[in-house]
Amino acid sequence: MSESLLDVQELETIFKTPEGVVHAVNGVSFDLKEGETLGMVGESGCGKSATMLSILRLIPVPPGKIAAGKVLFFGQDLLQMSNEEIRHVRGAQISMVFQDPMTSLNPVLTIGRQVEEPLMLHVGMSRSQARARAAELLSMVGIPQAQDRLNDFPHQFSGGMRQRVMIAMALACSPQILIADEPTTALDVTIQAQITDLVKRLRDELGMAIIWITHDLGIVAGLAQRVLVMYGGFIIEESPVSELYANPRHPYTIGLLGSLPRVDEKERKRLFSIEGQPPVLYERPASCPFAPRCKWVVERCWQENPMLEPVAPEHRVACWVNTQTGRSRS
Amino acid sequence: MATISPDIKANEWALPPQSRTPAWLRALLKNPASITGVVLIVAFALVAIFAQQIVNIVEPAIAQQEAEQNVGNPYMIPRDGFSSEPQPPSARHVFGTTEGQFDLFYGVVWGTRTAFEVGIIITGLTLIIGMIVGLVSAYYGGIIDETLQRVVEIFLAFPFLLAAITAASVFGPVVHSGILTGIIALTLFGWPGYARIIRGDVLAIKERDFVLAARAIGVRDFRMVMRHILPNSVYSLLVVASLDIGTYVLSFAALSFLGVGTEVGYADWGQLLSFARNWIPSLATYWYIIVYPGIALLLYVLAWNLVGDAFRDALDPKLRGLRP
């Protein structure tokens, strides 16, 4: 195993709202190795995006606040950097692709101007150099007649094409890490496949590490090497991708996988669904956040919040119950 | 990855060629009301640009007199004696003279120039100040926003014209130069409205995804505001401003009419109208002292309002195409 590229330790992010303080990220720790693809799954509002935005300090402050933790990137804490220093990390060394390509491009600037922007900001290219490079980038992400399309405005591009533009912008300065925040959620299925194929190809060509946030477990299976499952602002399971699909341990992960339709299913039956709603955490929970929805729930779940414990090599779960035997873990 | 076979020509894939004329300009030139407005403004602009030549041709005697008296400032209207009674139009004075024998034609022609200067300078200054205050207020938010908005509210609490009159009478004796008094007074109380408008738009725009995306590639504050936020939020402000040019000229005329604007004898329509104040009971005899400058002011303000209206319709896609 190579050394960690990104090491997130005990990250905590809160949002102050009129209803109270929302604990969006509660002591999340994980690491990312060079060239690795990490999947991050969980339902809406579980803290996936908040975690990623916190890493780049893109959380709107106020109402948001990164309350505690460290984000070590090449040994340097991103959370302690000055605004100017972190600005040189954003887009240059760590870039992000967002969920909705329809709204993530500035409608009044041409595509060319927008792809040139990171190049001029971080690489110090002149306008004409940046323009030439922008055309290369656009053809790299599979946009035909890239040279001509530099002068087009975002409304002249389809959703899939815009997401390609976003990826081109994110990769413009050859970052070490690409954070993809549900980049395919807003796209239809055929385009999703094209975009994931594109990212796979670019990952193999450029060798950057990827954090891929999604609630589509199918995409993670085909793309990631390791998966983090988040619930209520906590990481509740961490595992290599094949292990997770073969042996899910946390009741929530089991529920998530159970709710997927499978092509190899023999008999027809109703899809499984997890009852209830994910919690909005107005205070840091002392119990397991999943307890109200869990069918394995035991007395201890209501009293203590479980920590991540190893159950197999590289496989860690935060649960008081051994879901394979149904017995409490000591 | 889809590739395009080389035998397909590039232009078969291209979008149909678009007209280079922007949509708003085409809309502006389709509407009869806005065409009237544009024609009037162009006519006024020609008068303003060639004010000197027009006076030379139409009233050579007055132009001669102006040159001889050489007040040093062509904006000062030459006067033909000191009698207070207005003189009717004649060969020498095409529009007649007003109280104090100021030549009306000279005043109306050079007053056009004043009207353009006043409208454009005041609108420009209020726009710039309002834009800076509104942008800073909305972009940084928090305590900065609170403070600036309270300042804006204080300015907005005063009735516009009343506040401007007060400011003009305070600054008048200090500044004492041409149109500057009026410009300062109207700008001082004109910008807060714009600051509010742009603040509202920026508050909405800065929450949009592309602003977050731009921040994620490391764009710094100044560039963010100038490239990503301002161009997306400035339209409603421009429309309001285009409707306001006429209003500012009117307010400026009001200041002059009340005697706190330009100094006596300055070529300004409001000034000319104020000479008519003492002759209101006998306007049937001296109609020319109010009709000529009055018509000029009326048409000028009307022209800007027509253009402003059309500008608004053209920039609002919901209204575009609704009117013939």
The arrangement of secondary structure in B32-71+87-320, i.e. its CATH architecture, is Orthogonal Bundle (1.10)
Chain B's closest residue to A118, CA to CA, is B217
Give the distance from residue B246's alpha carbon to the nearest chain A alpha carbon, in angstroms.
29
* DSSP for residue B279: G
Q: What pLDDT is attached to residue B96?
A: 84
pLDDT in tens, A26-54: 888 888 888 888 999 888 878 888 888 88
Residues A11 and A50: beta-carbon distance below 8 Å: no
- Domain chopping of chain B, boundaries: 32-71+87-320
Nearest to B210 among A56, A103, A201 (CB): A103
CB pairs under 8 A between A and B: 77
For residues A195 and B243, give the distance between their C-alpha atoms in angstroms, rounded to a whole number.
Answer: 48
Chain A neighbors of B214, CB-CB under 8 A: 106, 117
Residues A99 and A163: beta-carbon distance below 8 Å: no
Going by C-alpha positions, the residue among B302, B296, B275 that lies closest to residue B286 is B275
Strands, E assignment, A34-106: 37-41, 64-73, 76-77, 94-97
Whether B181 shows a pLDDT value over 50: the answer reads yes
Query: Which three-class secondary structure state does DSSP give residue A132?
Result: helix
Return the amino acid letter for B61: A
Most confident among A291-295, B156-160, B243-247 (mean pLDDT): B156-160
Residues B108 and B51: beta-carbon distance below 8 Å: no
Q: What pLDDT is attached to residue B23?
A: 67
B292: left (phi over 0), alpha (psi -120 to 50) or beta: alpha
Task: Count Cα atoms within 13 angstroms, Cβ side, for B239.
Answer: 14
Return the amino acid letter for A13: T
Chain B neighbors of A108, CB-CB under 8 A: 231-232
Residues A137, A139, A141, A143: what is their CA dihedral angle, to the nearest 10 degrees? 130
Q: What is the ipTM of this complex?
A: 0.83
Chain A's closest residue to B216, CA to CA, is A90
Structural element, H or E, at residue B180: helix B180-205
Helices (H), B70-179: 104-140, 142-157, 160-175
Residues B46 and B54: beta-carbon distance below 8 Å: no
Binning pLDDT at 50, 70 and 90, where does residue B298 land?
A: very high
Binning pLDDT at 50, 70 and 90, where does residue B199 land?
A: very high
Are B13 and A107 within 8 A, CB to CB?
no
Give the distance from residue B198's alpha carbon to the nearest chain A alpha carbon, in angstroms.
17
* Locus of tokens 């307890």: A291
Residue-level pLDDT, tens digit, chain A, 330 residues: 446 888 888 888 888 888 888 888 888 888 888 888 899 988 887 888 888 888 888 888 778 888 888 888 888 888 888 888 888 888 888 999 888 888 888 888 888 888 888 888 888 888 888 888 889 888 888 888 888 888 888 888 888 888 889 888 888 888 889 998 888 877 788 888 888 888 888 888 888 899 999 888 888 888 888 999 988 888 888 889 888 888 888 888 888 887 777 777 677 777 777 777 777 778 777 888 888 888 777 888 888 888 888 888 888 888 888 777 767 775
pTM score: 0.79
Task: Count Cα atoms within 13 angstroms, Cβ side, for B240.
Answer: 18
pLDDT in tens, A120-146: 888 888 888 888 888 988 888 888 888
Question: Phi and psi of B263, rounded to 5°?
Answer: -75, 165
For residue A252, give both structure tokens.
């929530």
Give ∠ CA B313-B318-B322 in degrees, rounded to 5. 65
